[in-house]
Amino acid sequence: MANGSMYQLIEDCEATHKALYKFYAAVMIVTVILALPLNASVLHLFLFKMKFWKSNTNHVFLFNLVLADILLLFSLPIKAYNYIQGERRHGNDAVCKAMLFMLFLNRGASIAFLTVTSIDRYFNVVHPGRKNLLKALKKSPHISIFIWLLLLPLTIPTMLKNFDCCNSHKNDDEGGLVSKQDDTLIKDVVDSLREAVFFTQILIPFVILVYCTAHIVNRLRKKTVGDRTKLRRAVFVVTSVMVVFSICFLPCAIARAVLLVARVEEWRESSQDKATVAFDGLMVLSYLDCLLDPLIYCFCSTKFKALYLSNYFPFLLKEGPLPMDSSTSNTPNPKRGNVI
């Protein structure tokens, strides 16, 4: 490869390692094939079996989580096609912006509803008798609508070509000195705002999750009498959310930080290229949360797990009464059983 051509490929949003990007595309395709029917089946239960809007639990949050996952999955085939073609973004600006909007809106929604689910479990376990706004609103769609509306303006800064191509804070030596200084200042402000939004959506929820997890685990250790099953389940919930964050979201945030340092410090072209490829790969890894999120549903409610198995995998059940959710009491189900 000629001197300077690798850097130009990065700037032009072209893949420098086409075979590796085809592997990334294959991972996304497999994710869609596995996660789409899984999330569709969960959505079917929420809508037609559980009647989540009448639920007394946090099923409203979980419904929004699965909705965000499904919308994200619809965007991945286009992203995979671009990678197969050796492009890191779609050539059409309108399609590219729409893709970025969908990807980051629904990714942000997944993070938000995972976090709210953990906060809800924290209040139920650590402060069971305390009144709080979340407990009052979780039975209604208001808090879910607020989260979606809040994410809209936070997603707009990502709808730019230079975010998708990892070109934030790049140097550009062309043009007049005065006009260039003004343009650079504006661009730096926009880039900084965009990057702040990206990291805030990951780091602040992670800090909240660590706090909730630590207090719930501490509550479990202090409780010596009474029903510890609820506490153990709460630990499973927040721990599983932490696992999803640690696998899917934290690595891409770290890779993004390394990439920004590489650009600002003007590392060698080969180093910038490696940082770019690593970030793209870890972004692909973050899409796996669509496969891991259903574990959250099972940890949140054994009744949901039993209902899911009774509808889709009845051969895994033994004879006996099936634990019914209050929201499904009016839904007749001839199949009963205990989870094996």
Q: Is residue 307 part of a domain?
A: no
Cβ-proximal residues to 332 (8 Å cutoff; 6+ apart), any chain = none
pLDDT for 236 = 80
pLDDT for 181 = 54
Q: Is 332 left (phi over 0), alpha (psi -120 to 50) or beta?
A: beta
Structural domain containing residue 264: 5-162+177-300
For the record, the structure tokens of 211 come out as 């706090």
Q: Is residue 114 part of a domain?
A: yes
**Mean of pLDDT values over 232-258:** 87
pLDDT for 239 = 84
Q: Is residue 167 part of a domain?
A: no
pLDDT for 104 = 83
Are 17 and 76 in contact by the 8 Å Cβ rule? The answer is no
Strands (E), the chain: 317-318, 338-339
What is residue 171's three-state secondary structure?
Answer: coil
pLDDT in tens, 169-213: 555 444 444 444 555 666 677 777 778 888 888 999 999 989 988
Residue owning tokens 């099953």: 229
pLDDT in tens, 59-81: 788 888 898 899 889 889 999 99
Cβ-proximal residues to 190 (8 Å cutoff; 6+ apart), any chain = 157, 160
Cβ-proximal residues to 155 (8 Å cutoff; 6+ apart), any chain = 101, 104, 105, 108
Beta-bridge partner residues of 338:
318
Q: Is residue 281 part of a domain?
A: yes
pLDDT for 177 = 43
Rounded to two decimals, the pTM is: 0.79
pLDDT for 329 = 40
Q: Is residue 23 part of a domain?
A: yes
Are 156 and 150 in contact by the 8 Å Cβ rule? The answer is no
Local structure of residue 338 (DSSP, 8 states) = E
For the record, the structure tokens of 340 come out as 């094996």
Cβ-proximal residues to 18 (8 Å cutoff; 6+ apart), any chain = 86
Q: Is residue 25 part of a domain?
A: yes
What is residue 318's three-state secondary structure?
Answer: strand
**Mean of pLDDT values over 214-219:** 85
pLDDT in tens, 119-166: 888 887 887 766 666 665 555 667 888 888 888 887 776 666 556 565
Q: Is residue 141 part of a domain?
A: yes
Number of domain units in the chain: 1
Q: Is residue 325 part of a domain?
A: no
What is residue 2's three-state secondary structure?
Answer: coil
Phi, psi of 227 (to 5 degrees): -80, 110
Is beta strand 317-318 parallel, antiparallel or unpaired with respect to 338-339?
antiparallel
Domain of residue 254, CATH code: 1.20.1070.10
